[in-house]
A and B are shown apart, each in its own frame.
Chain A
Amino acid sequence: MKNTVLIITSGLILSLTLGVSQQNGEWKAPASADKITNPFIGNTTATVEGKKLYKQMCTVCHGNTGKGDGMGGMSLNPRPSNFTTEKFQSQTDGAIYWKLTEGRAPMASYRNILEEEQRWQLVNYMRTLKK
Chain B
Amino acid sequence: MKKIILSILTVGVLTVQAQDTLSTIDRQALQNYQSLKPGKSKFMLRGYYHTGFENVAEGDESKNQFNFGKIAPILMYKQSDRLFIEAEFEGEFEDGKFQWGIEYANMSFVLNKYMTIRAGKFLLPFGTFMEKLHPAWINRLATRPLGFGHDGIAPTTDVGVELRGAFYSGSVKINYQAYVINGPQLKDGTNEPEEAGMLKFGYFEDNNIDKSVGGRIGVFPFSNGMLELGFSGLTGKVGADGSVYENVRANLYAIDFSLVRNVNFLKSMIDLKGQYNYSQISDANYIVPDDTTGLFYDFNNISNSYYVQLSIRPSMIDNEFLRKLELVGRYSSLQTPEGALWEQNPTQTALGLNYWFDWRTVLKLGYQTTDGLGEHDAPTPITQNMFYIHVAMGF
How far, in whole Å, are A3 and B389 apart by their CA atoms in the complex? 11
How far, in whole Å, are A12 and B357 apart by their CA atoms in the complex? 11
Q: Does A19 sit within 8 A of B, measured CB to CB?
A: yes
Count residues on chain B whose CB falls below 8 Å from chain A CBs.
25
Q: Does A7 sit within 8 A of B, measured CB to CB?
A: yes
Give the contacting residue for A19; candidates B261, B320, B391; CB below 8 A: B320
Tell me if B269 and A75 are in contact (CB < 8 A): no
The segment from A24-32, A40-48, A63-71, A109-117 that touches chain B is: A63-71
How far, in whole Å, are A63 and B267 apart by their CA atoms in the complex? 12
Q: Which of A9-23 contact B (CB under 8 A)?
A: 11-12, 14-16, 18-20, 22
Tell me if A18 and B357 are in contact (CB < 8 A): yes
How far, in whole Å, are A11 and B365 apart by their CA atoms in the complex? 10
Q: How large is the interface on A (under 10, 10 to 19, 20 to 34, 35 or more residues)?
A: 20 to 34
Query: What does DSSP make chain A's interface, helix, strand, loop or mixed?
Result: helix
Q: Does B33 sit within 8 A of A, measured CB to CB?
A: no
Give the contacting residue for B262; candidates A1, A12, A71; CB below 8 A: A71
Tell me if A15 and B355 are in contact (CB < 8 A): yes
Q: Does A90 sit within 8 A of B, measured CB to CB?
A: no
Tell me if A4 and B53 are in contact (CB < 8 A): yes
Tell me if B355 and A75 are in contact (CB < 8 A): no
Q: Which of B348-395 contact A (CB under 8 A)?
A: 355-359, 363, 365, 387, 389, 391
Given contacts A15-B363, A19-B324, contact A4 B269 (CB under 8 A): no
How far, in whole Å, are A4 and B52 apart by their CA atoms in the complex? 11
For B313-346 the 0/1 string (1 means CB < 8 A from A) is: 1011000110110000000000000000000000
Give the contacting residue for A15; candidates B53, B267, B357; CB below 8 A: B357
Tell me if B315 and A69 are in contact (CB < 8 A): yes
For A67-99 the 0/1 string (1 means CB < 8 A from B) is: 101110011110100000000000000000000
Q: Which chain A residues lie closer than 8 Å to B64 at the CB level?
A: 3-4
For B41-82 the 0/1 string (1 means CB < 8 A from A) is: 000000000000101000000001000000000000000000
Tell me if B55 and A75 are in contact (CB < 8 A): no
Given contacts A19-B324, A74-B269, A74-B315, contact A8 B389 (CB under 8 A): yes
Give the contacting residue for A71; candidates B269, B363, B365; CB below 8 A: B269
Q: Which of B129-173 contact A (CB under 8 A)?
A: none
Q: Which chain B residues lie closer than 8 Å to A76 at the CB level?
A: 359
Tell me if B359 and A4 are in contact (CB < 8 A): no
Tell me if A11 and B389 are in contact (CB < 8 A): yes
How far, in whole Å, are A39 and B261 apart by their CA atoms in the complex? 38
How far, in whole Å, are A7 and B51 apart by their CA atoms in the complex? 13
Q: How far is the CB of B361 from chain A (nearest CB, A)?
A: 9
> Nearest 3 CB-CB pairs, A to B?
A75-B359, A69-B316, A74-B315
- Listed in ascending order, the chain A residues whose CB lies under 8 Å from chain B are 1, 3-4, 7-8, 11-12, 14-16, 18-20, 22, 63, 67, 69-71, 74-77, 79
Interface CB pairs A-B, < 8 A, 26: A3-B53, A4-B64, A4-B389, A7-B53, A8-B389, A11-B355, A11-B363, A11-B365, A11-B389, A14-B363, A15-B357, A18-B357, A19-B320, A19-B321, A19-B357, A22-B358, A69-B267, A69-B315, A71-B269, A71-B315, A74-B269, A74-B323, A75-B356, A75-B358, A76-B359, A77-B358
